Amino acid sequence: MSRRTLTWGDRAHLPALPGCYWVYARSRLLYIGTSKNLQERHTDNFRYGPHHLTAVFEKKGATSIRYQIIRNEARRLHTEALGIRDLDPPLNTRKEPLNYWLLFLDNLQQTTLVVVVVYIAIALLSR
């Protein structure tokens, strides 16, 4: 899953897909969020009006919005919570709970990769 970046002024071109987003003022992270429809979330088409922090983003000098399409809701919420916990953006005042099952699976995948690499290295060295 790759992340893509748009300028703040081009945010209306976000895909109409679910995902996580990161709002930046130059290289400073301001906020991490998630949405079922990234495009609607950052335009006036959102059923509740524009994003509740749009004025704050603009006052803080938002320059870009980075996004990642994540269709699975549990994974999307987990990605948001992990980012908020690890990066502590100043405009995220509420800490979302982590999904410990997904955290376990992520760690298991990393451990499995290490084991496979070590196994291959041992096999190659023993020849």
Q: What is the pTM of this model?
A: 0.73
Burial code (b: 16+ CB inside 10 Å, e: under 16) for 37-50 equals: bbbbbbbeebeeee
On whether the CB atoms of residues 26 and 61 are closer than 8 A, the answer is yes
Per-residue pLDDT tens over the stretch 64-88: 999 999 999 988 988 999 899 889 9
Residue 57 has pLDDT above 80, yes or no: yes
Domain segments of the chain as ranges: 4-96, 100-127
4-96 CATH fold: GIY-YIG endonuclease (3.40.1440)
Position 125 scores a pLDDT of 82
- Could you give the C-alpha distances from 37 to 12, 16, 18, 84, 107, in angstroms and in order? 12, 5, 5, 20, 29
Rounded CA separation 27/24 (Å): 6
Q: How far apart are the first and last CA of the chain?
A: 37
Per-residue pLDDT tens over the stretch 2-44: 889 999 999 989 999 999 999 999 999 999 999 999 998 888 6
On whether the CB atoms of residues 99 and 83 are closer than 8 A, the answer is no
